[in-house]
Structure 1
Amino acid sequence: MKKYLLFDNDGVLVDTEMWYYEANCMALGELGFGLPFEKYMYMMAHGTTVWEEPLRQGISQSIIDKAREKRNTYYQQFIQTKDLIIDGVEDTLKELSYKYKMAIVTTSRRVDFELIHSRTNLLKYMDFVLCEEDYPRAKPYPDPYLKAIEIFGCKKNEALVIEDSQRGLSAAVSANIECVTVKNEFTQTHDFSKSTYKIDSIKELTKLLEEMN
């Protein structure tokens, strides 16, 4: 029986992924580099960085660091001004909170995460949040989800991961935790063949859990 739900954040609970891509495009463009969407999807799926190509082309680390700071600034401007709401998320979390313990497990920086959720009402449904500063290695490594299991003190078969990216799914699979992937147009080219379950909308999660339990 599932008792613990581990949610990814970006793309599952809030619609932020396109804005992170746009922020990267802006920062890389100022260095003279493009970022085709297909290339970014590959990087996102496998957990590689957009800064590898500039480094290979001889751009210094100090310049890369400044570009990364600009990217972070652009992203923060986006997440403070754009509509990030995904239909059905809050209603679903509210309903699930009566039966399940829940946490958010994200690769976002905590400063960005807190900016995002200063504009939502979602955190009140969560027992805790893990951001990139809270574990040794980010997704696709299993560390984030293993840390969540440790905090809850639960068995792996009592937990369910909810993801929307191949990288997140890989982290769940590596942690040996069942994972349901939610359809997301942004990540539709990713490989979700290892998903335990697939749903078209987070609104379907409640029914899926009822069928599982």
Structure 2
Amino acid sequence: MIAQLDAVLFDLDGTLIDSEYFYYSNWSPILAKEFGLQITFEDWIRYFAGHTLARNVGMLMESYGIATTEEFMWKETRTNYAKSDMTTIRLMPYAHEILEKLATENIRLALVTSSYKTTVDTVLGHHDLLEYFEFFITRERVVHAKPNPEPYLLATEILSLPRGNIVAIEDTSTGCAAAKGAGLTCIAVTKYGSEIEKLSKADYILGNLQEVKGLLFANV
């Protein structure tokens, strides 16, 4: 699959943590109450998941004709997140197992996410996973978030490794576009059939992290 695997860069939401329903359950009441917009979880996965706040606000304005601002949605969503307790967010299946295997094989690990460091610390800290990662590229560390390749370019700069020896693990078209734009091999992981078509930029599309582990170590 890859001649020499030296490092793996993980996305967070929907890849290592099963957070999309958490975000949906906090956004949908705001959209319903403030704007009369009813969205389903399928709508969330199809149109909102994996995107930044700025992009989602822009999409609400352009696609739904909703007049709102980033400042307003930031305040409202953060208020709901605080009430909901992010420590209830579960890990994706086999998340701990793949991190443990990679660490045992001395593969360098980092996190590249559009979430903020507070979210990373809260959720991964709760699950005792922070220690697996050498560093974290979070939203506040870059000017341009995914799908711009900047987060992955920064990560590769820090790693100082050949890009051909680095694999990115993602779950959305946004993340895959960023990883491929940085010249990395990208493995997409999704349990949603509706998302497979959007992940065409990925080098591989798999169903869960157990399958990813099998692919990464197929020749070991």
Which residue of 78, 81, 97 maps to 1:72?
Answer: 78
SS where residue 129 of structure 1 aligns? strand
CA contact (8 A) 1:183 1:198 kept: yes
Instruction: Provide closer, same or farther for how the CA distance between residues 105 and 70 of structure 1 changes in structure 2, counting only shifts above 3 A.
Output: same
Amino acid at match of 2:47: Y
Partner of 1:113: 120
Deviations 1:11-51 (A, max 9, x none): 11111112112211122223124153455423446762135
CA contact (8 A) 1:43 1:49 kept: yes
Amino acid at match of 1:128: F
Confirm whether residue 160 of structure 1 aligns to residue 160 of structure 2.
no
Instruction: Provide closer, same or farther for how the CA distance between residues 35 and 152 of structure 1 changes in structure 2, counting only shifts above 3 A.
Output: farther
SS where residue 36 of structure 1 aligns? coil
Mind listing any 5+ residue stretches in structure 1 that lack a counterpart?
A: none
SS where residue 93 of structure 2 aligns? coil
Runs of at least 4 residues of structure 1 off by over 6 A?
none
Distance of 2:39 and 2:51 partners within structure 1: 16
TM-score (norm 1): 0.86
Partner of 1:195: 202
TM-score (norm 2): 0.84
Mind listing any 5+ residue stretches in structure 2 that lack a counterpart?
A: none
Q: How many residues align?
A: 211
CA contact (8 A) 1:89 1:202 kept: yes
Q: Percent identity?
A: 26
Partner of 1:151: 158
Partner of 1:31: 34
Deviation at 1:54, TM superposition (A): 5.0
SS where residue 14 of structure 1 aligns? coil
CA contact (8 A) 1:26 1:71 kept: no
CA contact (8 A) 1:183 1:199 kept: yes
Task: Name the Cα RMSD after superposition.
Answer: 2.5
